[in-house]
């Protein structure tokens, strides 16, 4: 019974490892060549397309809600919460 | 002569294109530089020019019947020839107007002592008690230096200083980003540390002590008031770890995944907030200063996807993100944020924005304490750590001007709806609004040059 449990555990580990390897190899097949970055290089495709708006929003929501950060550092910086 | 004209035209065209390229490239990099994101590596084009780029904004945040805040930002970014980037940011903000003091509405008028201990204010019957003495001005400076460390590694370090009348915050941060898979994947890690000092006027109240209400001109007042204080100032520190992974999916799509761990230690109580102590009928007998634990561990996961649609959907860029946050105070929250950048004509765009937020209450949150529940340990009636939901809806309009400059306007409506969370209210509170909603307008003008 003990052996069976170990076998099951090993099989699960192998499956998990396979999933990880497949995910990683999937990542390596994702993406573009340098000459295909025309759209990605546009300002509006930046992950934070307007850093000023993001900073102002962070300050508002940090002051009015119990959550902060996630996309960036939650940090201190003001006595508003 | 013709050749000379051609040369001049070519040079001007190159300069304009250089400036536009610079702007796009800087925008890609500035997420990290403004301290708003971990360095995300080179997903875009190379930074070419060697000049300052400025982003400025003025924001007005105004709540109906409550606080109004004005905030101005001037940020300058200089890119050096070897891809080193310096960013300096100056922020000035001011806050005025009434703010909830934590006490609950009552069927009769209530009187409170101002946080400074000098003077009183009266809340009419049926209204949520608001302290109208808040007035604060803050000056903040941020600096960030980013540079390539090796072919595939970008490093960034930054500092932060902010000073309010009663608050000082100092911070440092460091980030590393590693690009791989032809720079389609980026793994990044950042740490930050903040040290804050709170020196409120009137000092730090003794947690759970009763608010002294009386005549602040009486000769005994100062001695009696001093008995409700523990010190002139308190400190707290915040240490953050942020791990990020960015993946380009294809020519039109990019995704980001973050995990963050934040430890806050020290004085986490709000010295301006009290909790109403009610008798069995629900009538206020006392107001005690709130008391929060001296540490908090927050964790969050964050996912974002951006997709550039084609002509059939107006070349729109969709930006959708989700954050799940949880902490050891028992709070968890969900945030969904979506923006859609829609080009209008050749030089302008409109950007609708909608955000949903929902949070559960901290374990020690209670809108009031009933006398027979005393003594209590940790307690707060601050609605901001209670159960609530919120929605933001609005839009931004931006227009590109000559030479790559941009002017934009943003107008949003923010609606916060605190909810009862299952607390049974005594009879005297029947018919009173004990979970008032907050409505606010966010208006902003930005100019980049």
Q: Which of A33, A37, A73 sits opposite B190 (nearest CB)?
A: A73
Q: What is the pLDDT of residue B135?
A: 85
Question: Is the four-CA dihedral B69, B70, B76, B77 of positive or negative sign?
Answer: positive
Query: Which helix (H) or strand (E) segment is B53 a member of?
Result: strand B52-63
The CA radius of gyration of chain A, in Å to the nearest whole number, is 22
Helix (H) or strand (E) holding B187: strand B185-198
Which positions of chain A have pLDDT values less than 50?
1-3
Closest to B118 (Cα-Cα) out of B220, B232, B217, B228:
B217
Residue of chain B whose alpha carbon sits nearest to that of A33: B182
Chain B contact probe: residue of A43, A54, A62 with most B CBs at under 10 A: A43
DSSP letter for B69, please. Answer: E
In this prediction, residue A76 carries a pLDDT of 65
Q: In what order do the strands lie in the sheet with B274-278?
A: B284-289, B274-278, B369-370
Which residues in chain A are closer than 8 Å to B196, comparing Cβ atoms?
Answer: 76-77, 79
Give dist(CA B142, CA B170) in Å, integer: 10
Question: Is the CB of residue B14 less than 8 Å away from at least one CB of chain A?
Answer: no
Give the pLDDT of residue B216. Answer: 86
Min CA distance, A1 vs chain B (Å)? 39
Residue A44 · residue B343 · CB < 8 Å:
no
Q: 107-166 in B: which are within 8 Å (CB) of A? A: 136, 138, 140, 160, 162, 164, 166
Q: How far is it, in rounded angstroms, from Cα B406 to Cα B54?
A: 10
Residue of A30, A47, A80 lying closest to B249 (CB–CB): A30
Q: Name which of B167, B248, B302 is nearest A79 (Cβ-Cβ).
A: B167
| Identity of the residue in B164, B260, B384 whose CB atom sits nearest the CB atom of A79 | B164
The partner residue sitting opposite A65, judged by closest CB among B35, B308, B390, is: B390
What are the strands, taking DSSP E only, across B279-405? 284-289, 295-308, 317-327, 332-344, 348-359, 369-370, 388-400
Instruction: Characterise B119 by phi-psi region: left (phi > 0), alpha (psi -120 to 50), beta (else).
Output: left
Is residue B294 helix, strand or coil?
Answer: coil
A-B contacts (CB, under 8 Å): 236
Partners of B414 on chain A (C-beta within 8 Å) are 60, 64
Nearest-neighbour CA in chain A from B205: distance (Å): 16
Instruction: Dig out the tokens for B18 from the structure.
Output: 């250089």
**Nearest-CB residue to A36 (from B251, B301, B308):** B251
Please give the structure tokens belonging to residue B87: 């960013």
Ranges of beta strands (E only) in B365-405 are 369-370, 388-400
Q: Round to whole Å and give the CA distance between B255 and B246.
A: 6
Q: Where are the beta strands (DSSP E) in B202-294?
A: 204-205, 229-231, 234-250, 253-266, 274-278, 284-289
Other CB atoms within 10 A of residue B331 CB? 22
The domain locations on chain A are 1-27
Taking the C-alpha atoms of residue B203 and residue B213, their distance in angstroms, rounded to an integer, is: 16
pLDDT along chain B (449 residues), means of 10: 46 44 40 40 46 95 95 96 94 94 97 91 96 88 96 97 93 97 96 95 94 90 92 95 97 97 96 96 97 97 98 96 98 98 95 98 97 94 97 98 94 97 94 96 97
Q: How far is B370 from chain A (nearest CA, A)?
A: 25
Token pair in block for residue B162: 């902010």
Nearest chain A residue (CA) to B298: A67
d(CA B275, CA B361): 15
- Here the tokens at position B442 are 């966010």
Which residues of A fall within a CB distance of 8 Å from B38?
72
| Cα A39 from Cα B306, distance rounded (Å) | 11
Alpha carbon B418 to chain centroid, angstroms: 19
- CA B350 to chain centroid, in Å, comes to 24
Cβ contact (<8 Å) for A32 and B251?
yes
Q: How many of the other CB atoms lie within 10 Å of CB of B138?
A: 22
Contact call for residues B415 and B437 (beta carbons, < 8 A): yes
Q: Name the A residues in 2-61 with CB < 8 Å from any B CB.
A: 27-28, 30-34, 36-56, 58-61
Q: Report the length, in residues, of chain B.
A: 449
Strand (E) or helix (H) holding B197: strand B185-198
A69/B242 CB distance under 8 A: yes
* Phi and psi angles of residue A71, each rounded to the nearest 5 degrees, phi first: -80, -35
Cβ distance B390 to A33 less than 8 Å, yes or no, reads no
Burial class (CB in 10 A: 0-12, 13-18, 19+), B189: middle
Q: Are A70 and B308 an interchain contact pair (Cβ–Cβ within 8 Å)?
A: no
B45 vs A61: CB contact, 8 Å cut-off?
Answer: no
């Amino acid at each position: 019974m003990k052996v069976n449990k170990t076998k099951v555990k090993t099989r699960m580990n192998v499956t998990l490892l396979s999933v990880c390897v497949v995910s990683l190899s999937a990542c390596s097949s994702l993406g573009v060549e340098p000459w295909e970055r025309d759209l990605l290089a546009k300002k509006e495709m930046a992950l934070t397309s307007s850093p000023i708006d993001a900073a102002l929003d962070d300050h508002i929501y940090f002051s009015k809600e119990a959550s902060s950060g996630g996309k960036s550092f939650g940090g201190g910086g003001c006595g508003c919460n | 002569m013709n050749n000379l004209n051609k040369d001049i035209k070519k040079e001007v065209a190159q300069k304009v294109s250089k400036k536009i390229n610079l702007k796009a490239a800087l925008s890609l990099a500035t997420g990290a530089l403004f301290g708003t994101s971990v360095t995300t590596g080179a997903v875009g084009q190379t930074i070419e020019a060697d000049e300052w780029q400025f982003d400025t904004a003025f924001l007005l945040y105004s709540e109906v019947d409550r606080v109004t805040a004005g905030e101005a930002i001037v940020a300058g970014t200089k890119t050096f020839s070897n891809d080193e980037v310096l960013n300096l940011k100056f922020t000035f903000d001011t806050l005025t107007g009434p703010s909830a003091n934590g006490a609950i509405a009552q069927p009769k008028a209530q009187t409170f002592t101002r946080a400074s201990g000098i003077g009183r204010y009266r809340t009419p019957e049926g209204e949520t008690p608001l302290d109208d003495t808040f007035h604060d001005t803050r000056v903040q400076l941020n600096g960030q230096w980013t540079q390539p460390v090796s072919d595939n590694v970008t490093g960034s370090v930054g500092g932060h200083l902010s000073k309010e009348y009663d608050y000082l915050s100092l911070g440092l941060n460091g980030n590393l980003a590693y690009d791989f898979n032809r720079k389609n994947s980026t793994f990044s890690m950042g740490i930050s540390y903040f040290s804050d000092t709170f020196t409120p006027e009137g000092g730090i109240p003794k947690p759970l002590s009763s608010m002294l209400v009386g005549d602040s001109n009486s000769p005994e007042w100062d001695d009696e008031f001093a008995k409700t204080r523990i010190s002139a100032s308190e400190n707290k520190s915040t240490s953050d770890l942020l791990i990020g992974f960015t993946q380009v999916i294809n020519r039109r799509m990019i995704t980001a995944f973050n995990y963050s761990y934040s430890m806050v230690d020290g004085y986490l109580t709000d010295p301006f907030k009290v909790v109403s102590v009610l008798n069995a009928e629900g009538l206020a007998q006392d107001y005690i200063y709130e008391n929060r634990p001296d540490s908090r561990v927050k964790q969050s996961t964050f996912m974002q996807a951006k997709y550039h649609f084609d002509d059939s959907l107006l070349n729109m860029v969709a930006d959708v993100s989700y954050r799940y946050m949880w902490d050891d105070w028992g709070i968890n929250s969900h945030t969904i944020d979506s923006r859609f950048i829609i080009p209008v004509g050749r030089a302008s765009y409109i950007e609708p924005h909608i955000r949903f937020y929902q949070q559960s209450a901290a374990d020690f949150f209670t809108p009031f304490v009933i006398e027979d529940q005393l003594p209590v340990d940790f307690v707060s009636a601050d609605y901001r750590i209670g159960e609530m939901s919120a929605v933001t809806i609005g839009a931004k309009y931006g227009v590109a001007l000559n030479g790559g400059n941009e002017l934009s306007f943003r107008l949003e409506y923010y609606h916060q709806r605190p909810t009862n969370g299952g607390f049974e209210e005594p009879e005297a509170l029947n018919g009173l609004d004990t979970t008032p909603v907050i409505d606010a307008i966010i208006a902003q003008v930005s100019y980049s040059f």
